[in-house]
Structure 1
Amino acid sequence: MNNHKSDKKYKTRAKLIIKLLPYLRKNGLQSVRMDEIAKVMEISRATLYKYFSTKEEIIGFIVDAFIEYMNEETFYPLETDQSFGTRFQQIFELSVSLTEYFTDIFLQELEASYPDWYDRLNEAMKQREQLVLAFYEEGIQKGIFNDINGKLLIKQDELLRGMFNVKYLMTNQITVQQILVDYYNLKKIQLFKPEKLSAIDDAIMMPRIEYLTQKITRNLF
């Protein structure tokens, strides 16, 4: 763990950002003002400026935090069929979290208003994509995965952005949890050969899906 994460100021800043993220997800970056940010964070403007001097600093903190989040993804040696199942679940969980927070409007406004931060984030996401693609390729070579285009599997995750939408959920009478469970099963069946599906322990994944469901639902409504 990075040393700064044990710093009291960093922990407070992180807690404040967690309160802000759902608001930015819905409203974007460009129009939000510091007084609105303070209100969402439930602190005074004076307190806000103790932790963040500008909106740019807030955006930078968010981007850096997500880059660290991606870098902490554990890519340990794959020695058994079960290790491929565990890695698949880790990738699924992080991919859902990134897709949920990085909405189209967030990414578009980040690129337009904060191009340097966008480039940093984009580069980190590309690096993660290469690691995921290498994982898919190793699974294919070892006869665990179907011979499928890994880039299509990654691109598929973007479909979730349109589904994590109140109008979509209500129109189709579906819950966030149903989407996540069905999508998890879809990815699993697409990737793993039928005789290798037993390598995945679904009992481990269900509590994680429940946690993701609660987080996403809370941010939507």
Structure 2
Amino acid sequence: MNAPVRPDARTKLLKKLIVSVIRDGFQHLRMDDIAKYMDVSRATMYKYFSSKEDVMDGVVRIIVDYIERLEERNHNEDESYFGVWFQQLFEQSVSLVEYITDALMKDLQAAYPDLYNILKGVLQKREQHSLRFYRLGKDKGIFNAINEKFILLQDDLLLHEITSVKYLLYNHTTIKEVLHDYYQFKKMQLFKADKLSLVDDANINPVIEQLSEKFNRALM
């Protein structure tokens, strides 16, 4: 009798592949290519994944789980919650710039529309969840009275631009500096002056360091 497949083993293999899939898409990948990226033999890969669709299902589930983890933390609405959740939302917004690429979404829509719809649905749910958070902050007098839809649009457009290689090279800056500046920009934009103390910047420094390392590895 075969031993059951451990979910953590599948996840480890998928994480070896996920950067390439997200950056370049997956339509061109054969199962031999996937095994190579996972750094295992074809036979070993088939112990964990029955098909290319099974692999892509795993990739999408990793992204979906990451998005939904943030929602699970939304259970406390005292003022300190807004500073913490702002930082968590910032971290996730930056990470999703790396995870949700045009190459990935186009390939999913063309090859696996069901997986595309699952991911699209979770992203739409995240958007509505974020809008409720911003509206609640305004209602409680913590956030400035700005259009919350503009905040999401700003993340979608501006974050993609300032984290691009073209932007970094043209402005002679680093991803770490850009993320730090964008974080400060969003904090000052969102929180009222007398509520800035709710945000502990010491908590974000290791996060930005980690995000910067991930971006730099992806560019190598």
Same fold (TM over 0.5): yes
Matched ranges for 1:12-161 at <5 A: 12-73=9-70, 74-80=73-79, 82-158=80-156, 159-161=158-160
186-195 or 162-171, which deviates more:
162-171
Q: Distance in 1 between matches of 2:40 and 2:96?
A: 27
Alignment-mate amino acid for residue 11 of structure 2? A
Matched ranges for 1:1-20 at <5 A: 9-20=6-17
Q: Distance in 2 between matches of 1:106 and 1:168?
A: 22
Q: Distance in 1 between matches of 2:205 and 2:123?
A: 26
Report how many residues are paired.
Answer: 214
Q: Distance in 1 between matches of 2:168 and 2:102?
A: 18
Alignment-mate amino acid for residue 211 of structure 1? Q
Query: Percent identity at matched positions?
Result: 45
What residue is the counterpart of 1:193 in the other structure? 192
**TM-score after normalising by structure 1:** 0.91
Alignment-mate amino acid for residue 140 of structure 1? K
1:127-149 deviation per Cα after TM superposition (whole angstroms, max 9, x unaligned): 11111111100100111101111
SS at match of 1:157: helix
Is the Cα–Cα contact under 8 Å of residues 100 and 160 in structure 1 kept in the other structure? no
Compared with structure 1, are the counterparts of its residues 85 and 115 closer, same or farther at alpha carbon in structure 2 (3 Å cutoff)? same
Is the Cα–Cα contact under 8 Å of residues 146 and 193 in structure 1 kept in the other structure? yes
Compared with structure 1, are the counterparts of its residues 42 and 69 closer, same or farther at alpha carbon in structure 2 (3 Å cutoff)? same
**Cα distance, 1:36 vs. partner?**
1.1
Alignment-mate amino acid for residue 58 of structure 2? F
User: Structure 2: where are the runs of 5+ without partners?
Assistant: none
SS at match of 1:174: coil
Q: Distance in 1 between matches of 2:5 and 2:37?
A: 21
**TM-score after normalising by structure 2:** 0.92
**Cα distance, 1:100 vs. partner?**
1.2
